[in-house]
Chains A and B, each alone.
Chain A
Amino acid sequence: MFHIEPMLPSPFRVVKNRKETQDTRTLELASATGGDVPSWRPGQFMMLYVFGAGEIPISIAGDPARREAITHTVRAVGPVSRAICQAKPGSAIGVRGPFGSAWPTDRYEQHDIVLVAGGIGLAPLRPAIYAIMANRSRYGRVLLLAGSRTPDIFLYRREVDRWRRRDIEVRLTVDAAAKDWTNSVGPVTTLIPRAEFDVKRSAAFIVGPEIMMRFVVQALAQRGMSLDHMFLSMERNMKCAVGFCGHCQLGPAFICKNGPVFSFSQLEPWLSIRDM
C-alpha cells in the first residue's frame, strides 16, 4: 500500500509509548489494519502524522528484523513531536513510508565501523547497530562514540550496556556532568583521536546536528579516514518525503529521496555554501 500511494498516510496504532528521558519517548507502532509493518532498511525514515497537529519526518529507531511493529524515538521539541510523544497506547497515528536511503552496512562488511552519534542522533543509528549485531562476525571492530549535553538525556542507557556485551566498544561523553559521572566529559569529537580502528579499512556512520557532524568529519579525516567512507544522516525540512515539493533540496539532491544517508563526499560541495 505504501508504494501505490506514497502521499496517503496509513493508519497505525500506538502499541507502546515508553519514556526515554524527560522530553523523549520511544513509540512502537503497529498497522491498524493488521499484518506486518512494511519492510525497511536501517537509516530510513517515516512520515508520522498526528491528526489535527501535522506531519513530521522521524527516523526509524528499531530492529529491522522485527515485522510486527515499527519503532520511533521522538523528542518533544515542537507541536507535532509533542503530540506524538503524548500519544497514548491504542491511539491512531498516520504513517507514510519508509522513505530514503540506508546505511551501507553490507558494503562495509569486513571493515571496522565507527558509529558517531550526537544527542538524539543515536536513534537513527540504532537500527544499524541491530543489523551489525545480527551479523557481528562479518565486521571488524565496532565502536559507538556518543555525545550528549548531560548524562540524564542519553538514550537507551540499559541497552547500551547490552551492546557492550555484544562486542561493541562504547564511549560516552557529555558536555557537563557531576562528580559521579565516570565516562568522558567533552564534545564527541574528543573521542576520535584515541579511538582504535583501522583507518584504511573502516567506515563511519554519523548522526547529529550539522555542526557536530562537520567537526566529526574533520576529526576522522585528520585520522586519515577517506571522505568516501564517512556517511551522514541529514535532516533538512522534509515535507513530502518523495522529492516532489523541494523543501529539503540541498544542491542537486533531495534529502528525502536521495538521502537522508549520504557519503560526505556527495555532500561536501553543498555543505560549505552559506544559507543553503
Chain B
Amino acid sequence: MEKDIDALLADHLFFKDMDASHRALIAGCGKNVVFKAGEFLAQSNTPANEFFAIRHGRVSIEIHSAGRGPLLIQTLDAGDIAGWSWLFPPYRWKFDARAIEPVRAIRFDGACLRGKCERDPAMGYDFMKRFAQVFMQRLEASRLQLLDIYGNVPH
C-alpha cells in the first residue's frame, strides 16, 4: 500500500524528528509528484508557489545563460529540499530546477504553508529553523566552491 504524505515526510531527512502534529499540518499542504529526466521542477522568473521535498532521484539547480546554455550550480538528491523563493516576496523562482534523472518528490503549496506558519508560530519556528539550516548548508557549499578547496601546493 502506498504511504500517505505524513508517513513519507516521517522518512524524509528534512522532516526528521519533527513533532508529529506539526508534520501532520505540513502534510496537508503536500502532494506526490513525479518528473521525468530533463523535466523542470521550476523555471527561473516564474511564480514560486511551491517547494519540493525530493524523495528519489537527482535535481540540478541551474541558471541559463545566453550562448552558454544551462550552468549547473548544485545538485540535490533524496533527502534534500528544492526551493525557498516561495517564502519571500515577490515569490518568483531565481534559478531553474531540473530533473537529471527520474524524480519523485512531494510538492508543497507555498501559500498553504505560509498561512499555517502564521497561524501556528511554534510550527512556523520549527519549520523556519529547518530552512535556516538548508540556507546555511547551501551558503557554506557556495563558499567552499568559491574557495577552490582542491587547489595544490606547488613542489
Contacts and interface: CB of A to CB of B under 8 A. Distances in A.
Contacts of A119: 150-152
A187 B79 contact: no
Interface string B121-155: 00000000000000001001100110111111111
Contacts of A121: 150
A149 B72 contact: no
B72 A185 contact: yes
Contacts of A81: 154-155
A118 B70 CA distance: 25
Contacts of B60: 185
Contact of A186 (B13, B62, B74): B74
Contacts of B80: 194
B39 interface: no
Contacts of B152: 75, 77, 119-120, 209
A185 B73 contact: yes
B21 to A, nearest CB: 26
Q: How extensive is the interface on chain B, given as a class?
A: 20 to 34
Contacts of B155: 56, 77-81
A176 B72 contact: yes
Nearest to A183: B75
Interface string A69-109: 00000010111110000000000000000000000000000
Q: How extensive is the interface on chain A, given as a class?
A: 35 or more
Interface in B101-137: 101, 137
B78 A194 contact: yes
A194 B79 contact: yes
Contacts of B13: 193-194
A1 interface: no
Interface of A: 56, 75, 77-81, 118-121, 147-149, 173, 175-179, 181-187, 189-190, 193-194, 208-209, 211-212, 215, 235
Interface of B: 13, 58, 60, 62, 69-75, 77-80, 100-101, 137, 140-141, 144-145, 147-155
12 contacts: A56-B155, A77-B153, A77-B155, A119-B152, A175-B150, A176-B145, A182-B101, A184-B58, A186-B74, A193-B13, A194-B80, A211-B147
Given A78-B155, A148-B150, A178-B69, 15 more contacts: A77-B153, A78-B154, A173-B75, A175-B148, A182-B58, A182-B100, A183-B75, A185-B72, A185-B75, A186-B74, A186-B141, A187-B141, A189-B144, A211-B149, A212-B149
